[in-house]
Amino acid sequence: MERSIIFTVALSIAALLFVLELVRRRKLREEYSLLWLFTALVMIVVSVWRELLHGLATLFGIAYPPNLLFLLAALLTFLILLYYSVIITRLTHENKVIAQEVALLRYEIEQLRSEQANADKKPPATSAKVETLKLEASPLDTSQTYDLSSDDHDD
């Protein structure tokens, strides 16, 4: 067996195990690992099945079949990068929309806070005369009055 094929099989198996380990440790989500797993499996199959490799190399006009492995790996990597670029573009757009919505919500909160602060600063709508309240001090004495405008009482 040629060294390039042994190298490709070993590298593909290592990539497969590495991706599985990342998924196991939850460093890579399953949905994103599928392309990497597919790439590693295709590389293993093409590397081990020499007749398939030679047939595909002849079909595509490649004189040295192991070069097809590297071309295939480069194409699959390109597809993975393109896929991730689409995902990054979508996430960037979603982040922009979310940031705009957060900014609008913050603006609305600040408006509500300033309206509430202005409402708290307005004087009360009660009359200016001193109000007195007659309360029962005891069941026997009902004549005590309390001045609500004095500063002696606790609120």
Structure tokens, 98? 């979310």
Percent of the chain at pLDDT exceeding 90:
41
Instruction: Encode 39-71: b = buried (16+ Cβ within 10 Å), e = exposed.
Output: bbeebbebbeeeeebeebbeeeebeebbebbee
Render pLDDT for 32-66 as a digit per residue (tens, 0 to 9): 888 889 888 988 888 888 899 899 999 999 998 88
Residues 137, 142, 143, 148: what is their CA dihedral angle, to the nearest 10 degrees? 50
Q: Concatenated DSSP letters for 44-88?
A: HHHHH-HHHHHHHHHHHT-SSHHHHHHHHHHHHHHHHHHHHHHHH
- pTM (2 d.p.): 0.58
Find residue 145's DSSP bridge partners: 134
Three-state SS letters, 3-19: HHHHHHHHHHHHHHHHH
Percent of the chain at pLDDT exceeding 70:
78
Whether residue 130 has pLDDT greater than 80? no
Q: How confident is the model at residue 78 (pLDDT cuts 50, 70, 90)?
A: very high
Crossing angle of the two packed helices 65-121 and 3-24, in degrees rounded to 10? 20
Whether residue 136 has pLDDT greater than 60? no
The residue among 28, 30, 35 whose CA lies nearest residue 83 is 35
Whether residue 107 has pLDDT greater than 80? yes
Whether residue 75 has pLDDT greater than 50? yes
Ranking 17-21, 69-73, 141-145 by mean pLDDT, the lowest is 141-145
The pLDDT of residue 138 is 47
The pLDDT of residue 42 is 87
Mean pLDDT of the chain: 81
